[in-house]
Amino acid sequence: METLSVEEAAALLHLNPKRVQFLARSGRIPAVRVGRKWLFPRRELEALLARRSAPAEPRTFDLSARNQLRGRITGLTTEGLMAEVRVAIGDQELVSVITRAAAERLGLRVGDEVYAVIKSTEVMIGKA
């Protein structure tokens, strides 16, 4: 059985090594502690990734927000902890900045159809 170090497991899971250690301590990912080191079984981590990336049954839900705009992702830039998502809505473009983790969890890709949900207590309107 091939085992991975914290750093190798973090690279495989695309997580920070401290986060991997936390998940191991809390029993949320398979790991064995040997002395002061954590070891991770590669096959079990890969199986965990395969289960998480399997297509889930689509969920439908209603939101109280009335401003739900459907569009298509035209640009996606991730850097550090943040992701910039550009969405074409008709002939307009909306730009949203979300966490990288949220973009990865949603599996966002250029070309995906998405909804931009705007919930605010203040919306300004302008006219030329």
Q: What is the pLDDT of residues 51-102, one digit of tens each?
A: 776 665 666 667 777 788 889 999 999 999 999 999 999 899 999 999 999 9
Domain count, the chain: 2
Containing H/E element for 105? helix 100-106
CATH code for the domain of 41: 1.10.10
Are 12 and 46 in a shared domain? yes
Are 78 and 43 in a shared domain? no
Is 45 within the bounds of a domain?
yes
> pLDDT band at 125, cuts 50/70/90?
low
Containing H/E element for 116? strand 113-118
17 exposure class (CB count in 10 Å sphere: 0-12, 13-18, 19+)? middle
Domain that holds residue 109: 67-118
**Global pTM exceeds 0.75:** no
Q: Phi and psi for 101 in degrees, rounded to 5?
A: -60, -40
CA distance 89 to 52: 30
